[in-house]
Chain A
Amino acid sequence: VQRNILLQRQQSDREDGELVKKIQRGDQRALASLYDRYAGVLYPFSLRVTGAREAAEDVVQDVFVHVWGKAGSYAPQSGSVYAWMTAVCRMKSLDKVRSTSQKKQGQEMKGVPHQSSQEGEQKSAQPETIIAMKGFTEAARNSLRSLSKLELRLLELSYYEGQSQSDLARMLRIPLGTIKGKMRRGIQKLRQVLAEEAV
Chain B
Amino acid sequence: MTPKTGERHTQLELCIPYVFGRLNPGNRKQFEAHLATGCELCKRELSELYEATALLPLLIRQEAPPPGLRQRILSRISSRKPEQARVERTPASREGRESVVTPATRPPRSWYQYAAAALGILIIVALVIFVNDLVGTTRNQERTIAQLKGDLQQQNELASILKAPKVEIVSLSGIEPGSSVYGKILWDSSSRKAMLQINEVPVTPEGKEYQLWMLKEQKYFSIGEFQTDSTKASLLKVIDLPGEVNQRIEGFVLTLEPKGGSPQPTGSIYLRGAR
Q: Could you tell me which A residues sit within 8 Å of B by CB distance?
A: 21, 23-26, 28, 31-32, 35-36, 39-45, 47-48, 53, 57, 60-61, 64-66, 68-75, 77-80, 82-84, 86-91, 94, 115, 117-118, 120-121, 123-127, 129-130, 133, 136-137, 140-141, 144, 155-156, 158-160, 162, 164-165, 183-184, 187, 190-191, 193-194
Q: Sort A-B residue pairs by CB-CB distance and give the 6 closest, nearest first.
A: A72-B83, A117-B59, A69-B107, A45-B57, A190-B52, A43-B65
Closest A-chain residue to B108, C-beta based? A69
Q: Is B58 touching A41 in the complex (CB atoms < 8 A)?
A: yes
A39 contacts across to B, CB distance below 8 A:
64-65, 69-70
- Is residue B95 contacting chain A, with contact meaning CB distance below 8 A? yes
- Is residue B177 contacting chain A, with contact meaning CB distance below 8 A? no
The answer to whether A78 and B59 touch (CB under 8 A), given A158-B20, A159-B20, is no
CB distance from A193 to the nearest CB of B (A): 6
CB distance from A24 to the nearest CB of B (A): 5
- How many of chain B's residues have a CB under 8 angstroms from any CB in A? 56
Q: Is A79 touching B50 in the complex (CB atoms < 8 A)?
A: yes
Find the residue from A40, A79, A123, A141 having the highest chain B CB count within 10 A: A79
A125 contacts across to B, CB distance below 8 A:
61
A57 contacts across to B, CB distance below 8 A:
65-66, 69
A75 contacts across to B, CB distance below 8 A:
88-89
Q: Is A155 touching B89 in the complex (CB atoms < 8 A)?
A: no
**How far, in whole Å, are A42 and B60 apart by their CA atoms in the complex?**
10
CB distance from A195 to the nearest CB of B (A): 9
B48 contacts across to A, CB distance below 8 A:
191, 194
Q: Is B82 touching A23 in the complex (CB atoms < 8 A)?
A: yes
A72 contacts across to B, CB distance below 8 A:
82-86
Closest B-chain residue to A31, C-beta based? B77
B43 contacts across to A, CB distance below 8 A:
78
- Is residue B21 contacting chain A, with contact meaning CB distance below 8 A? yes
B58 contacts across to A, CB distance below 8 A:
41, 133, 136-137, 140-141
Given A31-B74, A74-B89, A120-B61, 6 additional A-B pairs, CB 8 A: A39-B69, A80-B51, A83-B54, A91-B21, A121-B59, A124-B61
Q: Could you tell me which B residues sit within 8 Å of A by CB distance?
A: 16-17, 19-22, 43, 47-66, 69-70, 72-74, 76-78, 80-91, 93-97, 99, 105, 107-108
Q: Is A120 touching B82 in the complex (CB atoms < 8 A)?
A: no
**How far, in whole Å, are A117 and B63 apart by their CA atoms in the complex?**
14
CB distance from A159 to the nearest CB of B (A): 5
B57 contacts across to A, CB distance below 8 A:
41-42, 44-45, 48, 86, 89
Q: Which of B21, B53, B82, B105 contacts A162 (CB 8 A)?
A: B21
Closest B-chain residue to A159, C-beta based? B56
Closest B-chain residue to A195, C-beta based? B48
CB distance from B175 to the nearest CB of A (A): 88
Closest B-chain residue to A79, C-beta based? B47
Closest B-chain residue to A66, C-beta based? B96
Q: Is A24 touching B76 in the complex (CB atoms < 8 A)?
A: no
Q: Is A123 touching B83 in the complex (CB atoms < 8 A)?
A: no
**How far, in whole Å, are A117 and B95 apart by their CA atoms in the complex?**
23
Q: Is B99 touching A66 in the complex (CB atoms < 8 A)?
A: yes
Q: Is B63 touching A61 in the complex (CB atoms < 8 A)?
A: no
